[in-house]
Amino acid sequence: MKKSSISIFKVLVLAGGITCFSSCSDFLERQPDTIMTDDQIFGDAVMIRSVLANYYGRVSWGQHNGNGNSYNYTILDEAGKSDGGPDNIQGYGNDLWRVYDYTLIRNINQFLKGLRETTALADGDKQLYEGEARFLRAWLYFNMARGMGGMPIVGDEVFEYQSGTDITALQYPRSTEAGIYDYIIAECEAISSLLSDKTNQHSARANKWTAQMLKARAAIYAGSLANYNNKMTSPIRTAGGEVGIPADRAEGYYQQALAAAKDVIDNSPYELQLNKPDDLQRNFYEAISIKDNNTEVIWAQDRIYPGTGQQTNFTTANIPGSHAEDIDRAYAGPILNLVEDFEYTDDRNGDIHIRDNQGNYIFYNDPLDAFANKDARLGGTVILPNALFKGTPVVLQAGQKVWNNGAWQTITSGGDERDDAGRLVTAANGPNRSTEPYVNKTGFFFRKFLDEASLASTRGRNSDMWFPRFRFAEAVLIAAEAAMELGQQPVAVGYINQVRERAGIQPLTSVTVDDIIQERRVEFAFEDHRYWDLKRFRRAHIVWNGVVNSPTAQQYALFPYLVVAPGTPNDGKYVFDKLTFSNSLHPRFFELRNYYNFIDLGWQNANPKIVLNPFQ
């Protein structure tokens, strides 16, 4: 027994020894297939193109309709969270939508260096790719600037570090806030001659007009920051100007914004899309949410199906229950605050008429009638009660109002239940005020970005809906705003009325900053403008003031009810209740510290030249 155990031991040692010496002949000699050398990349035109494509996939920030991002829309005043547990937000995080991606800047700079040296590309393509890469870099700086103010500008620098390198030379201080916008504007000017002036499929790639749009947007942001920050009781600034643009810069920025926007309006191949003048609601939906033959959108994040990881589940998550093709539905819905901000065709006060002067209900034959004569963009942005989606009505009914001994009694039920007379009580879609998932709680569904394609709301497929980042209407409204700020009222009126005319609402005779804020609110709902607009106009702390039941900070819902009053003329009609949105417990509260993201202290530890932001 003992002997045999020794021999087992010997065998084991021998086997181990042989393994050590004989293994791994060429196992570790393989070329890595995930790391490429510069020669491999820049020696091949296809590789260069695919590296550029990679950068396009890394530039989505802020509010957008990508996977799992429905809550982007519920933290402001556009939509409410309806997928179960309540929304407990009491304030905004110091790093909300904060962008700090110097990895991407380094990658783009490496790309530019390789691109300028390569012989694998024709000069025309080189120029084009350089323009696109620099555009994406400028777009990244813009996304950093609107959150944090001035940040280190590294130009085309590709830093090399070896042990012993003096790192203080690699530590760049933050630019001023004006400086970063100036850099973005200058880059856009420099590249607009490198880029194509033609459209491309689904507006997925940057062209000259994209660069002009970024220039216009950066200039109008910088102009309004210079203007409105300095009108605050206590302007938000840092000693070194990393935050805070001098007021005397405003006019110059407005002029740059107007010129760039005007160039897009006058010379670009895009337009305010108007393919269906007889159905302005549908026209507006198609101008933003249908990408084939689109003439409105200048730059978008495109998505394709099939293709791994390309699609978005926005439609899957938010489709009305009555139209759902999978188990998901109704994660969020637009709120009444947004709906009422859409004007009537002839009345600038967009409040829904639910009670008369005596406080009695107003009765509607069809719930949709309550929204008659509203801005056409409302129907193109929001699915209203009983409006059609894919050809069939989306029923939204919270319950019944029963006339009972001289008073209205509210009756609700579980989804899709009927009373003894066979009349619907609460619709399967909702709305209700519970925390039950998959039921609407606001009274409205999204229409903008909701994909009508078959099976686009299934988990297995999802949707190839795009996300427009720049579109023609923005050029028009930037021009209107810049002209208004420069005192050119007739010009401003002309531009803003183009947008209003497409919406089917009355023209204005003069334009104020409130008109601009209002027009952008409804035109660009869910398009990543609202938050940044209220910030740059320094209105966010006033609109989202944290006061319970404030008309702007509290979220509201609109519940439709079927009237049950047999023997009266109102039987079978519909009435509405305006209610606080039950699933959002607190009013929106934007504090002064939220005007600029906080600087991460880790960044400051790595680079002591980075100064902190105000209130930090």
Partner 1 sequence: MMTIMRKYVNMLLLPAIVAVSSCGLDNYDAPESKIQGRVVYNGEPVGVRGTGEAVQLQLYQDGYELRNPIPVYVAQDGSFEAKLFDGEYKLVTRDNNGPWVNDRDTTVINVKGTANADIEVTPFYTFSNVQFSLSGSSVNASFQINEVAGGRDIDYVLILAGKTSFVDDVSYTERREIKGLSTGSTITEALDLTNNADFKAGKPIFARVALRPAGKDQAIYSQVVRLR
* 234 near partner 1, rule: CB under 8 A: yes
Q: Does 601 bind partner 1 (CB under 8 A)?
A: yes
Q: For the residues of 512-575, what is the DSSP string, one character each?
A: -HHHHHHHHHHHTTTSS-HHHHHHHTT-HHHHTB--TT-TTTS-EEEEEEEEE-TTSTTTT-EE
Q: How far is the CB of 9 from partner 1 (least distance, A)?
A: 10
The tokens for 536 are 């740059």
Among 5, 23, 88, 509, binds partner 1 (CB under 8 A): 5
| One-character DSSP codes across 149-192 | S-----TT------TT--GGGG-PPPPPHHHHHHHHHHHHHHHH
Binder among 90, 171, 373, 409 for partner 1 (CB under 8 A)? 90
**How far, in Å, CA of 537 to CA of 523, rounded?**
17
Q: How far is the CB of 614 from partner 1 (least distance, A)?
A: 5
Please say whether the beta carbons of 561 and 576 come within 8 A. yes
- Listed residue (337, 374, 372, 384) closest to 578, CA to CA: 337
| Closer Cβ to partner 1, 7 or 234, answer by number | 234
Between 234 and 308, name the residue whose CB sits nearer to partner 1.
234
- Minimum separation from the CB atom of position 212 to partner 1 (A): 37
Nearer to partner 1 among residue 385 and residue 587 (C-beta): 587
Examine residue 612 and tell whether it contacts partner 1 (CB under 8 A). Answer: yes
- Whether a cis peptide bond, with omega within 30° of 0, leads into 490 is no
- Most distant CA pair in the chain, distance: 107
Query: 363 to each of 248, 353, 569, 570, 580, how far by Cα in Å?
Result: 55, 10, 10, 7, 21
Count each helix (H run) and each strand (E run) in the chain, helices first.
18, 12
Q: Is 615 in the site for partner 1 (CB under 8 A)?
A: yes
Name the segment binding partner 1 (CB under 8 A); options: 50-58, 78-86, 174-182, 232-240.
232-240
Q: How far apart are CA 181 and CA 214, in angstroms?
A: 10
Asked whether position 91 contacts partner 1 by CB under 8 A, the answer is yes
Minimum gap (Å) between residue 592 Cβ and partner 1: 4
Which residue in this structure is represented by tokens 């497409």?
Answer: 502
Q: Is 11 among the residues that bind partner 1 (CB under 8 A)?
A: no
Minimum distance from residue 615 beta carbon to partner 1 (Å) = 5
- Does residue 46 interact with partner 1 by CB under 8 A? no
- Could you tell me which stretch among 150-158, 228-236, 360-368, 423-431 binds partner 1 (CB under 8 A)? 228-236
559-588 residues near partner 1, rule: CB under 8 A = 586
The smaller minimum CB distance to partner 1, of residues 176 and 212, is found at 176
Q: Which of 162, 233, 308, 349 binds partner 1 (CB under 8 A)?
A: 233
Between 245 and 317, name the residue whose CB sits nearer to partner 1: 245
Piece in contact with partner 1 (CB under 8 A), picked from 226-234, 255-263, 456-464, 574-582: 226-234
Contact flag: residue 592 with partner 1 (CB under 8 A): yes
Q: Provide the minimum distance between the beta carbon of 238 and partner 1 in the complex, in angstroms, as a whole number.
A: 9
Instruction: Give the x-and-dash track for 535-554 against partner 1 (CB under 8 A).
Output: -----------xxx------
Question: Contact, 381 vs 335, CB < 8 A?
Answer: no
- Residues of span 120-149 touching partner 1 by CB under 8 A: none
Shorter beta-carbon distance to partner 1: residue 53 or 232: 232
Q: How far apart are CA 178 and CA 363, in angstroms?
A: 55
Dihedrals phi, psi of 516, to nearest 5 degrees: -65, -45
- 607 interacts with partner 1 by CB under 8 A: no
Nearest to 574 by CA among 583, 586, 565: 565
Angle CA 393–399–401, to nearest 5: 120
C-alpha distances in angstroms, 116 versus 112, 131, 190, 317, 589?
6, 12, 16, 45, 49
Please report how close the Cβ of residue 594 comes to partner 1 at its closest, in angstroms: 10
d(CA 259, CA 188): 13
- Residue 591 as a binder of partner 1 (CB under 8 A): the answer is yes
SS (H, E, C) 245-308: CCHHHHHHHHHHHHHHHHHHHHHCCCCCCCCCCCCHHHHHHHHHHCCCCCCCEEEEECCCCCCC
DSSP 86: -
Nearer to partner 1, 159 or 615 (CB): 615
Tell the smallest beta-carbon distance from residue 601 to partner 1 (Å).
4
CB 544 within 8 A of CB 589: yes
| Binding span for partner 1 by CB under 8 A among 203-211, 433-441, 576-584, 604-612 | 604-612
Contact segment (CB under 8 A) with partner 1 among 332-340, 352-360, 439-447, 590-598 equals 590-598
Point out which residues bind partner 1 (CB under 8 A): 1-2, 5, 90-91, 232-234, 546-548, 586, 589, 591-593, 601, 604-605, 608, 612, 614-616
